Structure 1
């Protein structure tokens, strides 16, 4: 293996570790905050500042509660999407790209865990949402991570494309 190939392999391993570390961190934070919300918000609402409050709801659908009753289908779709995103990681360079992709995957796995473990049957669980702005659908740490991760990845790809980085177009490796 040449020095260039060895450096490329080390860079890929570092990127994969970043993605995995962010993913595990998001998944742990999401599940910990959901466990707290289920225990602490079962019979009350906590008013914080302005319109921000913490209020427990269970969502059996997808974004904005659409698709209720499609839990097993949604669970399978998330598994496929996570697999596609993980395989796509090689097309995304840089720490920011890894950070964003790890956030998306970690958030998707956090909500998938709810669908698998918080219900009567496989995929029939409800996602725990508890962050309520009162002017936006109620969400959780996983949802926020998916959104922020997607923004990071899109900005990273846009800036990489403007610079002419081949990694943003998937032409390296």
Structure 2
């Protein structure tokens, strides 16, 4: 779980560093017309810039998510749960890193977004990891796949 999370953070932060250095703020570069483009944005809020005035709330939520995933990860025995929580941990940790280290300041940093999905929204690699991991977690929950050993099912 930790290794996958570290890989997600590494890829996300590296791609964001590239985007900041290579893209002009707001300029859209078409990659796969009309579906995918590149456009650098700094997002103070959540998805679709919701809650842009409450950045500190998202900082606390990301920190709580990281702590909760690390706590839950202690009981992991299922490879698919391990992968799903690893992706979720990596995405949350990378967003937390942005919130703590980017302007305008500690705990209020804006997340770097640069993957433009046909003008509908702009995201990043961490968002892909978070969305994919959430989808897998929903399927695992719907199928009642246990987090730990079958004998541990009553405590999952």
TM-score normalised to structure 1 length: 0.78
Residue in structure 2 matched with residue 155 of structure 1 by the alignment = 139
How far apart in 2 are the matches of 1:26 and 1:92?
19
Moved more, 53-62 or 113-122: 113-122
2:41, 2:114 within 8 Å by CA — same for their partners in 1? yes
TM-score normalised to structure 2 length: 0.86
**Alignment size in residue pairs:** 152
1:91, 1:170 within 8 Å by CA — same for their partners in 2? no
Residue in structure 2 matched with residue 37 of structure 1 by the alignment = 19
| 1:121 counterpart (96, 105, 116) | 105
Structure with higher strand content: 2
CA distance change for structure 1 residues 170 and 79 in 2, over 3 Å: closer, same or farther?
farther
Residue in structure 2 matched with residue 4 of structure 1 by the alignment = none
- Deviation of 1:45 (Å): 2.7
How far apart in 1 are the matches of 2:73 and 2:55?
27
How far apart in 2 are the matches of 1:138 and 1:86?
28
Moved more, 96-105 or 43-52: 43-52
* CA radius of gyration, larger in: 1
Aligned 1:154-173 pairs, distance under 5 A: 154-161=138-145, 166=150, 170-171=153-154
**Any unmatched runs of 5+ in structure 2?**
none
Aligned 1:3-14 pairs, distance under 5 A: none
Structure with higher helix content: 1
